[in-house]
Amino acid sequence: MDNHWPGRGCDAGPRHRARAGNRGVRAPVPYRASGQRRQPVPPELSRPDARRDLPRRRGRAPPFSQCAGGTDANGGNYERASDPWVRFGPDGQLYLIALASSPLVPHSAILLSRSRDGGRTWGPVQTLITDSAPDVLDDKPAVTADPGRRGQAYAVWTRLSGLSDSEGDEAAGDLRALTPRAAGEPPIGPAYFTRTVDGGATWDPPRPILDPGPDAQTTGAQVVVLGDGTLVLVTNVITPDGVGHMTAVRSTDGGRTWQAPQEISTMRWARILDPDTGARVRTADFLPSVAADPRRGHAELYVAWQDAALTGGTQAQVVLSASRDGGRTWSPPARLSRDQGQAFLPQLAVNELGVPMLTYFDFSRNLPDTAALETTLWTRVQVRPGCWTAPRPVPELAIDLRQAPVAGGYFLGDYVGIASHGIGFGALVPVPRLRPDDPADVVYVRLR
């Protein structure tokens, strides 16, 4: 173990007794994602009926694009929809947000729809923001339902402007906003925010709440709600030198006003590659994963991301920083992935006891020079502050990453859904398949 390993000097720590029928890792259940872009989304799995019905549900997707029934009349007349994100509110209402675009027109928007029956049916499409300028893209939307304020929810995204015509549809980690237009106007990428206080019937006009200035951008913005009601926006701020700055911004009045940003840590980027062939693997890159302790009065907050700082910039690993005071101060990043090479796609959730779980992927079990690229999903649980269990594989998941869809590299998604249910956890995980007519599934696995 090295000094960055969070289990250094820790014993097994306290153990929580698992409820009957919730021990170990359960066999995965096939489940189809409803978005056009196969990017797993993190649904709230805390409602018992949602857990029970999830494998059987086959609801219709809202008409966010033409292939889903979108028209001018219903607000969904776009060629494609991507970046879906869903959250349940405390009243059982489900919010779905996504990016919709017609690149050749050009025309793009952030769309939202609500469901009152767990996703079986959806209400009207709501347009939170729309643009027709060719150099503007609203990217990586996320929605959060406030568990303590009934009818209140928050949506955030990065609004990129000043994009060059040559950048195309690249991954977020390729710093799309940092290439100036031919006219020389500096690109910008602030984090935009809007909220509803009436259950999603109306939304405030979107506004920037974190603007890093010219030649810089935010990416991966998410809002979490602490046990005392404080909102914390976490995002990565990428500066002109290509350095990422994990950043937190707090609001103590439900999103009306926001305090000065607090830097969590800088980070270094390294591309994830097939260890045998050198082929590119498209992953979360600069995107953070954020989770907060849901217990009333608690202020613990966790952020994980891919970072090559501990390897001198050679290999991305998974690191985590924690705050015990609601995002005011943060611990130095600690490596949570194994030390055998690359690690990617970290995701976090915290259960009802305040226990966080981390999942991530790596190639540590891959055998060189074989036809398959064996990719393993690992889990870790914090047993007390700063002390985590050893990485535990999810053996039921057999993933050959070379069979994954290719979109700027082998692509499982920008996110992998994980959420808590009681004291346990559940995850939605993409699994590539060998069938050309059905190249991928999303499976649900129950963890702990």
Domain of 98, in residue numbers? 29-447
On whether residue 389 sits in a domain, the answer given is: yes
Decide: 36 and 67 in contact? Cβ < 8 Å: yes
Q: Is 103 helix (H, G, I), strand (E, B) or coil?
A: coil
Q: What separation in angstroms does the CA of 134 have from each of 83, 163, 167, 250, 394?
A: 19, 8, 11, 33, 44
Identify the H or E element spanning 51. helix 48-53
- Percent helix, strand, coil in the chain, to 5, is 5, 40, 55
Given a cut of 70, is residue 74 above it in pLDDT?
Answer: yes
Q: What separation in angstroms does the CA of 46 have from each of 12, 50, 90, 134?
A: 27, 7, 10, 41
On whether residue 23 sits in a domain, the answer given is: no
Total domains in the chain come to 1
Q: What separation in angstroms does the CA of 282 have from each of 26, 100, 174, 272, 301?
A: 28, 21, 10, 7, 27
Q: ω into residue 106 within 30 of 0, thus cis?
A: yes
pLDDT of residue 438: 76
On whether residue 442 sits in a domain, the answer given is: yes
On whether residue 1 sits in a domain, the answer given is: no
**Residue range 158-185, pLDDT digits in tens:** 999 987 754 444 434 344 444 444 456 7
| CA geometry: angle 303, 210, 90, nearest 5 deg | 55
On whether residue 2 sits in a domain, the answer given is: no
Question: What is the CATH number for 77?
Answer: 2.120.10.10
pLDDT of residue 329: 98
The full length of the chain comes to 448
On whether residue 39 sits in a domain, the answer given is: yes
| CA geometry: angle 320, 262, 233, nearest 5 deg | 75
Who contacts 52 (Cβ-Cβ below 8 Å, separation ≥6)? Answer: none
Who contacts 85 (Cβ-Cβ below 8 Å, separation ≥6)? Answer: 41, 42, 96, 97, 98, 141, 142, 143, 415
pLDDT of residue 98: 97
Mean predicted confidence (pLDDT) in 199-227? 97
On whether residue 356 sits in a domain, the answer given is: yes
- Of 78-82, 141-145, 339-343, 422-426, the least confident: 339-343
| CA geometry: angle 419, 294, 301, nearest 5 deg | 85
- Of 51-65, 252-266, 336-350, 393-407, the least confident: 51-65
**Residue range 181-203, pLDDT digits in tens:** 445 678 999 999 999 999 999 99
DSSP string, 65-91: SGGGT--TTTT---SEEEEEEEEE-TT
Given a cut of 80, is residue 209 above it in pLDDT?
Answer: yes
Decide: 84 and 41 in contact? Cβ < 8 Å: yes
On whether residue 337 sits in a domain, the answer given is: yes
Q: How confident is the model at residue 417 (pLDDT cuts 50, 70, 90)?
A: confident
pLDDT of residue 59: 59
Phi, psi of 270 (to 5 degrees): -140, 135
